[in-house]
Amino acid sequence: MAPLRNFLWFCFITAVYSKSIHQYVDAKAELENYIENKIPDINPRFRPHYHVAPPVGWMNDPNGFSYYKGEYHLFYQFYPYDSIWGPMHWGHVSSPDLVHWKQLPTALLPNEEQCFSGSAVQDGDMMVLMYTGHIVSDKEPYYNETQYLAFSNDGTNFHKYSGNPVLPAAPNGSPDFRDPKVWRHGDHWYVILGSKTNDKRGRVLLYRSTDMKSWEFLTVLAESQGDMGYMWECPDFFELDGKFVLLMSPQGLVPQGDRYKNTYQNGYIIGSFNYETFEFVQEVPFQEIDFGHDFYAAQTTEVNGKRYLISWFSMWEVPHPEDVDGWAGMMTIARELKLVDGKIIMKPIDQMLVLRENVAIVGNLEENEGVEFEKAVEINIQANFNEKVELQLEGREGGDKVWLRWDSEVGKVVVDRGSDDIRQVEWQPNNSHTWRIFLDSSSLELFCGIGDVVFSSRVYPLGGWKLINLSIQDIKIEAYHLKKSFPV
């Protein structure tokens, strides 16, 4: 009778699983219908023209930044039913060029687990998502985090692995065990995860697998010695120009002068790594990767030998003025990474040039002279950085103001949103005479020189932008209005 009982049990499980799949498919269809009906209610005043944003509701961390069957894919933490953080889904967009984006159906919906952050890889013809299943409980510590898989053969429709979770617990049992980043090397898959020690020091854990379903713990790749925060989120690990980079988002860093002034930070450690011993040796200590007000949980991908980065263009525990309009959160533009003299250089990808619609202005801007732009504009500034430079940006019809300053005597670039809301950092122009500024309906991205200093800050002007030259010198300006490249 045992074979018959086993067969009947198999049939029962198959029927239950099949029913759950149908329910999941119906739930996804219902959600897409909700989104379509909700979009007309969104106030467009701060909606970006060329940055990825949620169609409705809340967005945070980028997930699954990858390349699959000739297109870039970007997923994101998504709560569609309100413009505040809620039970996490995975939103989804794709692009042929990292500039023009298409909204795709929501990739993952929560069941018993919330779908926290993770990554995507291609395995043969299959796209595989690995994400953190965050399960809330009524007992301390009131949540647990494990790692789940989901599969797709078309890059649009995903089904969750019936054997989830594939990584059920951190080696020390910490409930903080999240944000898997997967990559392939040789015959193995590798994954790193963010976690913490029992005495609350951030760490990154390294595993490997032959099939992404059974994982072997290898080592603690890196961890705080007590001065680098209590949790390391959203880790990424990659080779760049002959060195290895551990990119992560540490929580709990204490502000030090101009540094670590955001709620949480995003930065990197440079070193060497050995795939035989699994040892990562730090050579250059932690550095912030972006010095603006709103930059977190950056994720990278490599395509055709180039390493690209996209980050959540927002920050935790700060106001999000767009939330009253029915949405909140967006992504930075894609940046290409290089390693120069022990430092990551970020520059806008070359494809951004295709967004230039028409010339807004080319010429000199005299002291105290102003010029107006539409909501989406690229501004290239040439100035003598042996002297002070100060630019004021404001809304043509009011709203926020922001000041960009360079003081040659102090040697710092400053982004000042007023009311002492300042971010600043040392910069060495090194014969550079340029700033490149990307403005959208509610954002500013400043690239200094070759991209060795970058600021990403949310700013909320009304009715387009106005730039005023407050410098003690004339500056050369070349500006272009930019086309829409994301559905609004």
State phi, psi for 357 to the nearest 5 degrees. -90, -50
How would you classify the pairing of strands 422-426 and 177-185? unpaired
Assess whether 61 carries a catalytic annotation. yes
Asked whether 49 and 29 are in contact (CB, 8 A), the reply is no
- Spatial distance between the Cα atoms of 488 and 270, rounded to a whole number of angstroms: 39
Type of residue found at 323: D
How would you classify the pairing of strands 465-469 and 389-395? antiparallel
- Spatial distance between the Cα atoms of 288 and 275, rounded to a whole number of angstroms: 26
Quote the tokens at residue 31.
């959600």
State phi, psi for 329 to the nearest 5 degrees. 95, 150
Asked whether 202 and 232 are in contact (CB, 8 A), the reply is yes
Chain centroid to CA 213: 26
- Spatial distance between the Cα atoms of 337 and 330, rounded to a whole number of angstroms: 20
Quote the tokens at residue 64.
């699954």
Asked whether 42 and 327 are in contact (CB, 8 A), the reply is yes
Distance set, CA 121 to CA 142, 149, 162, 239, 308 (Å): 31, 11, 19, 17, 15
Find the catalytic residue in 41, 61, 123, 407. Answer: 61
219-225: which pairs have CB atoms within 8 A and are 24 or more residues apart?
Answer: 219/278, 219/279, 221/192, 221/246, 221/278, 221/280, 222/246, 222/269, 222/280, 222/282, 223/197, 224/250, 225/201
Q: Please name the helix (run of DSSP H) or strand (run of DSSP E) that holds residue 195, with its range, or none.
A: strand 188-196
Query: Which residues carry out catalysis?
Result: 61
